[in-house]
Amino acid sequence: MTDGDTRPGPSAATAPLRVLIVDDEPLARLRLRALVEANPEPRAIVVGEAGDALQAMRQVQATPCDLVLLDIVMPGGSGLKLADELRRLAAPQPAPRVVFVTAHAEHALRAFEVDATDYLTKPVRRERLQAALLRVAQRRAAEPVASTGPVLVVSDRGRVLRVPVVEVLYLKAELKYVTLCSTHGNWLLDESLAELEPRLGEGFVRVHRNAVVARSAVRALTRPSAGDGDEGWQVQLVNGDTLAVSRRQLPAVRDVLADARDT
């Protein structure tokens, strides 16, 4: 979900998902290919097909992919066993995600024991496939990348964006959502502030029970309205926004400003 300016900037995850389709029925593979390639967002391309588990493993080892759409009941080897082998693949690249596509709904529990991202039953509906692809794209975007450092993953009209933590100015809890304000735009997140704060690292300071701010974004501490004691303080940020500062967090904000003056 988004709010305000949502220009993705250089951190957007624009590369399409690379998909391998594994099913012993050629017509089933053909239909899945059509659904994948017609999916508007996230974008996906089919990089290969396989009719059994052995052929699928060879394909994965020869052609990198992000996702395997995998049938469960196939001649020559179970899709469940293949999924277990796929998640044990060694580096240098992450193992592909697995989404089961099967007519056998009774295997769902076992499927998630091998870390399947989703479980679709045939005939596959377009909207269910899109939801599964979006889930895979979100997980792929959340995987750590050494060159960019920690990221927060946001969804913007079906696209999955990676927002580097170094670009985050603040997070503010409002009603059911948390607003993420970055140097490239604002987004609404479904996660709580308590869940998000540990991912930010030491470069952030809590200024209120509903707000966490990047230390580098703090510019001034002001008191625009009269109040009793330490009430009524606000922190001014580099982008012009202001956030309320609670009495409890006032010393921490003052320490941030003191550290900035000393450097």
Q: Is 133 in contact with 42 (CB distance < 8 Å)?
A: yes
**Which tokens in the block code for residue 68?**
């395997």
The predicted model scores a pTM of: 0.54
pLDDT in tens, 166-177: 999 999 998 889
Mean pLDDT for 153-159 is: 69
- pLDDT of residue 90 exceeding 90: no
Residue 119, CA distances (Å) to 18, 55, 106 in order: 18, 22, 11
Give the gyration radius of the chain's Cα atoms. Answer: 23
Query: For residue 84, what pLDDT band results from cuts at 50, 70 and 90?
Result: confident
The residue-averaged pLDDT of 66-75 equals 90
Residue 112: which pLDDT band, with cuts at 50, 70 and 90? confident
Pairwise CA distance, residues 56 & 151, whole Å: 32
Query: Quick check: 18 pLDDT over 70?
Result: yes
Confidence class for position 12, pLDDT limits 50, 70, 90:
very low
